[in-house]
Amino acid sequence: MYQLKVQGAFEAAHQIPGYPGKCARLHGHNWVVEATVRGTQLDRLGMLVDFKTVKAALGAELDRFDHRFLNELEPFAGGVAPTAENLARIIFEELAPNEAFGQDGSDAKLVAVTVWESPKSSVTYTENE
């Protein structure tokens, strides 16, 4: 089994309504997001998936959050709290069906997304097994 990881990043502000502390106020983070891909079949070049391909797919997903107030974006504007946990799940759900995975007969698939809101605080969302 091979496991590949790539990272991307974006800067955005948010606030957590109802939080009993500072996070209820408007504040921002330099978010770092890691996508983990797993599989067993390598392509003709000996790659599970080209790092460049996964980085591009992740970057395209993260662009919609960059330099934005997350509370104004869907699904957060609809009442979903813009927490690191929800960001990890949403990014996973949007990225998983990307055609970057499973090219050339590969069985590669996204298995986890980790979101850091600080260098010491992260959350990982994994596929349901």
Residues with catalytic roles: 23, 67, 117
Q: Under DSSP, is residue 100 helix (H, G, I), strand (E, B) or coil?
A: coil
Place of tokens 């949403």: 90
Q: What is the 3-state secondary structure (H, E, C) of 62-112?
A: HHCCCCEEHHHCCCHHHCCCCCHHHHHHHHHHHHCCCCCCCHHHCCCEEEE
